[in-house]
């Protein structure tokens, strides 16, 4: 596996001249976000400490390294970024490790490239423009990527099903699925859920020196406790997702009181229970990674920051 080495300040060399300031360290930001995804123990997810669902952390790290180039290719449209990243991932991982991550991070990457200034408002404003500018070609490329990734539990829908070429732009196609899929909902709603439930609380906590691993765990639990996880819904049904959502809420409250709770035996036992039941909160993890990507674009110093615990 070839995984770009970050320098002491977190830089991986930067992007080409002409891109927005936020895009300068996009490579490092993306790779850091993907690394945090598996370095931090998150119940039900694959991590360095805990494999599961027939996958290991090395597959996610290989996927991150392979997908970074096409996902962050300067000037590329969103659809091409998605398709290129999924093709590259499939070649090294042999399975779907990061489709949700790629779908979320592709428009954010283009927004960072286009943002006229630094800061959350500039990034979200540019992101809104990117989403509004998506076209049928983006949808066709995204549909091909989804078909290649072959995520489980998609089923069939009556309109704009991913098994046939789309006839509308990608944002409109996503809007049709927004009531049942959290990733589609971000496209339809301008990433509002991600910004409000994820990015802002995470930046508030890290800005005042919160332990990085605990901040990531709380970020994940905020998504998992606030919304039924779409991946669990697809694979196991809404009642199962609601059950996991209810299990997550008291853990979030506990970690807000005591950061060390994220490494206790009961937290580890919950991870084992979720995996034994075949329940993988994959969409909550995808939302977490995209939030971390955005956070690192906005706060590059996070990339070089060490967690006190993983």
- Average pLDDT on 2-27 reads 57
Q: Taking the model in full, what pTM does it have?
A: 0.91
- Average pLDDT on 49-66 reads 92
- Average pLDDT on 39-48 reads 95
Architecture per CATH, domain 21-304, reads as: Orthogonal Bundle (1.10)
Residues in a beta bridge with 215:
none
Predicted confidence (pLDDT) at residue 102 exceeds the cutoff of 80: yes
Predicted confidence (pLDDT) at residue 178 exceeds the cutoff of 70: yes
Query: What is the greatest pairwise CA distance in the chain?
Result: 51
**82 within 8 A of 145, measured Cβ to Cβ:** yes
Which pLDDT value is given to residue 5? 41
3-class state of residue 238 by DSSP: helix
> CA 187: distance to chain centroid?
13
Q: Tell which residue, 25, 180, 174, 163, has the closest CA to residue 104.
A: 174
Which pLDDT value is given to residue 310? 45
**What are the phi and psi torsion angles at 156 (to 5°)?**
-125, 140
**292 within 8 A of 36, measured Cβ to Cβ:** yes
Predicted confidence (pLDDT) at residue 125 exceeds the cutoff of 90: yes
3-class state of residue 28 by DSSP: helix
Which pLDDT value is given to residue 13? 45
- Average pLDDT on 246-253 reads 98
Q: Distance (Å, rounded) from C-alpha 299 to C-alpha 287?
A: 18
213 — pLDDT class (breaks 50, 70, 90): very high
């Amino acid at each position: 596996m070839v995984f770009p080495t970050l320098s002491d300040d977190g830089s991986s060399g930067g992007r080409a001249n002409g891109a927005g300031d936020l895009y300068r360290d996009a490579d490092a930001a993306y790779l850091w976000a993907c690394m945090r995804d598996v370095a931090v123990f998150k119940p039900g997810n694959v991590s360095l400490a805990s494999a599961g669902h027939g996958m290991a952390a090395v597959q996610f790290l290989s996927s991150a390294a392979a997908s970074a180039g096409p996902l962050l290719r300067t000037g590329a449209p969103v659809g091409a970024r998605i398709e290129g990243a999924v093709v590259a991932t499939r070649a090294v991982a042999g399975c779907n490790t990061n489709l949700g991550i790629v779908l979320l991070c592709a428009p954010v990457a283009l927004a960072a490239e286009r943002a006229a200034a630094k800061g959350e408002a500039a990034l979200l404003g540019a992101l809104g423009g990117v989403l509004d500018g998506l076209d049928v070609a983006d949808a066709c490329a995204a549909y091909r990527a989804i078909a290649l990734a072959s995520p489980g539990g998609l089923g069939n829908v009556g309109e704009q099903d991913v098994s046939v070429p789309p006839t509308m732009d990608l944002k409109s196609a996503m809007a049709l699925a927004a009531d049942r899929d959290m990733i589609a909902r971000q496209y339809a709603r301008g990433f509002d859920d991600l910004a409000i439930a994820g990015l802002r609380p995470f930046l508030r906590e890290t800005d005042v020196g919160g332990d990085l691993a605990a901040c990531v765990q709380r970020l994940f639990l905020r998504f998992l406790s606030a919304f039924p996880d779409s991946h669990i819904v697809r694979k196991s049904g809404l009642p199962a997702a609601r059950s996991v959502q209810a299990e997550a809420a008291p853990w979030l409250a506990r970690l807000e009181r005591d950061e060390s709770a994220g490494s206790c035996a009961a937290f580890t036992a919950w991870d084992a229970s979720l995996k034994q039941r075949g329940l993988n909160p994959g969409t909550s993890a995808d939302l977490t990674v995209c939030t971390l990507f955005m956070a690192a674009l906005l706060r590059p110093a996070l990339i070089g920051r060490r967690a006190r615990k993983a």
